[in-house]
Amino acid sequence: MPTEDQIDLFSLGDVALTQASSDFNPDDIPTSARVPIPPGTYSSMEQMQAHCNQCFRCDLGKTRTHAVIGRGNPKAPIMIVGEGPGQNEDETGIAFVGKAGQLLDKILASVNLTEEDVFICNVVKCRPPGNRAPTKDEAEACKGYLLEQIRMVNPKIILLTGATALKGLLGITQGITKVRGQWIEQGDRLYMPIFHPAYLLRNPSREKGSPKWLMWQDIQAVRARLDELQAAGKV
């Protein structure tokens, strides 16, 4: 389980929207966490990926095989934010392709959501050794990339899988079991904390009240809210 220090990351509200200075050089971003990532730095995920694959803003760059930017539609109405890449993701460079990712795809498909409807990414872009939770410094070094992804995708709904994403984006320290399934509105976005698919793999029961049963309720609520937004012309 991640410690409080590991998940004491950042809040969107705490990030100053500082414009780049006249001597700002984007090529310095991957070399040092001291170099900020101003809003508007990237125009595409491909451009960001080039930086992330040569990034050493934290020590995760020393052990990665591939940086993992995300997968899905870069203009999707729903963004799903996980914790960090696992072994399969590190080897392939593709987000959520292991067993947890396969389960996530089945969950989405159960309510007719496809990769056209979602963009899936993580708090950090490189695999933490042993699949541990990202540390505060690692997440802080990577936060500018995630904020740029949110800006570029501009999703209406953001699903937060697990405590790291929940604490990082909303500053909520309550356990995921206490807040999952609740809609939280900030700005023009709707956030919902949900169980991480890896947690569901460890808890396979489908009985009423089980994590998998609760996830079924949550993903149906997500589908219904998306339908409402589409009907209102907001997506």
User: What DSSP line would sit under 113-131, residue for residue?
Assistant: --TTTEEEEESSSSPPGGG
Superfamily of chain region 4-231: Uracil-DNA glycosylase-like domain (3.40.470.10)
Q: What is the pLDDT of residue 19?
A: 56
Residue 43, CB-side half-sphere exposure with 13 Å CA sphere: 0
For the cut 80, the answer to whether the pLDDT of residue 212 exceeds it is: yes
CA proximity to 201, closest of 111, 86, 80, 69: 86
What digits encode the pLDDT tens for the residues 64-96?
Answer: 999 999 999 999 999 999 999 999 999 999 999
Looking at the chain, the whole-number percentage of residues with pLDDT higher than 90 is 81
For the cut 60, the answer to whether the pLDDT of residue 133 exceeds it is: yes
Mean pLDDT of the chain: 90
Q: What is the mean pLDDT of residues 136-159?
A: 95
For the cut 90, the answer to whether the pLDDT of residue 20 exceeds it is: no
Per-residue pLDDT band for 16 (boundaries 50, 70, 90) equals: very low
pTM for the whole structure: 0.90
Q: What is the pLDDT of residue 23?
A: 76
